[in-house]
Amino acid sequence: MVDVVQKYFKWIEKEIAAGKYGQSPPSLYEPIRYLMGIGGKRLRPMLTLFAYGLFRDDVKSVVRYAVAVEAFHNFTLMHDDIMDKAPLRRGQPTVHMKWNVNTAILSGDVMLVKVYDMFLSLDPAVLPRVLAAFNKCAAEVCEGQQWDMEFERREKVTEREYINMIRLKTSVLIGFSLELGGILAGASEDDCLALRRFGTNIGIGFQLQDDYLDAYADPTKFGKQVGGDIIANKKTMLLIKAQELARGKDKRELVQWLTAVRFSKRDKVRAVRGIFDRCGMEKLLERTIKQYFTKGFRDLEKLSCGDAKCRELRTFAEGLISRIA
């Protein structure tokens, strides 16, 4: 299993390094090569290759299209970083900080165009189906980002609204990555649907797990500031449910911290996490995360490719979950 993962990863990195996005003006295309080259888990293209490998053995033949998914993912990151005013991405300066905002916008735009260029070499018999699925996914990702920004201005967000937002913003692209592998392999519509649902459900689980870790992770292992979402009043599942469940003193204290302008970050994280604890949020979120992962793996069991093949994809997904946990 480890050998397969390493092989796929090397193929993806080699294809990314060989990518020809354009040359002139250099300031337009260099940011693309920069962002694509600063690393990452390559989760989405890996899932495309694993899904294709469920049905066919010539996995290397579709690496180009798996990398197209990674290019789209990085396009969304380039624009998200502008909207979030983020200074760093994967430990390196974001494109708009290294160059400027206008360049980052234009580079992101041409990056999306290059995604379509990558898909254009597909067999004409399968191209319309791929583009239809991709366009639906791409529009949903934009919808999710817009909902996320609108939630920042709202006092209350419901659990249902939040789940829908993370499904659109994050999970549908994981679902498409798997569905793409199935489509390219000639899998049945039922199998492609099961792959998409599997990816969407585990994607929701991943995001909820990230919410959990932001508040409860060991700071020496998490890789970023623990409590960052609490400090920023980010409407995660933890905060949404705490606002719903907190009573009396806890409810008043939570409102005070959410409206405070000047505060100690350490004190705020400690106090709000204490409210989460008293509301039972840690266990509640653990159960919800498990529900989405379980639902996803049930979708995986519906595939017609055989237990041995499905086991490879399941093992890969479980490995991702255990590394995040």
Q: For residue 31, say if its preceding peptide bond is cis, omega within 30 degrees of 0.
A: no
Identical fold for domains 1-121 and 158-325, yes or no, is yes
Mean local confidence (pLDDT), 3-23: 93
Dig out the tokens for 100 from the structure. 């400027």
As a whole number of Å, the end-to-end CA separation of the chain is 20
For residue range 86-120, list pLDDT tens digits in order: 888 888 999 999 999 999 999 999 999 999 999 99
Q: To the nearest whole percent, how much of the chain has pLDDT over 90?
A: 82
Mean local confidence (pLDDT), 112-135: 97
Mean pLDDT check: name the lowest of 20-29, 53-62, 217-226. 217-226
d(CA 93, CA 100): 11
CATH tag, 1-121: 1.10.600.10
Q: Are 195 and 305 in contact (CB under 8 A)?
A: no
For residue range 180-239, list pLDDT tens digits in order: 999 999 999 999 999 999 999 999 999 999 999 989 887 666 555 678 899 989 999 999
Instruction: Give residue 48's pLDDT band: very low, low, confident or very high (50, 70, 90).
Output: very high
Q: What is the mean pLDDT of the chain?
A: 93
pLDDT for 124 beyond 60: yes
Q: Which residues contact 197 (CB under 8 A, 6 or more apart)?
A: 175, 296, 299
Q: How high is the pLDDT of residue 207?
A: 94
Q: Is 234 helix (H, G, I), strand (E, B) or coil?
A: coil
318 alpha-carbon distance from chain centroid: 16
Q: How high is the pLDDT of residue 250?
A: 97
d(CA 3, CA 196): 25
For residue range 258-312, list pLDDT tens digits in order: 999 999 999 999 999 999 999 999 999 999 999 999 999 999 999 988 778 888 8
303 alpha-carbon distance from chain centroid: 23
Mean local confidence (pLDDT), 162-186: 98
Q: In Å, how far are 216, 230, 240, 320 from 274, measured between CA atoms?
A: 11, 12, 15, 29
Evaluated on CA atoms 154, 156, 160, 165, the torsion sign reads positive
325 alpha-carbon distance from chain centroid: 16
Q: How high is the pLDDT of residue 1?
A: 65
Domain ranges of the chain: 1-121, 158-325
d(CA 174, CA 158): 24
pLDDT for 20 beyond 90: no
DSSP secondary structure letters along 107-159: HHHHHHHHHHHHHTTS-TTTHHHHHHHHHHHHHHHHHHHHHHHHHHT-S---H
Tell me the pTM.
Answer: 0.93
In this structure, whether the domain defined by 158-325 belongs to CATH 1.10.357.10 is answered with: no
Dihedral, CA atoms, 283, 285, 291, 293, nearest 10 degrees? Answer: -120
Evaluated on CA atoms 137, 143, 149, 153, the torsion sign reads negative
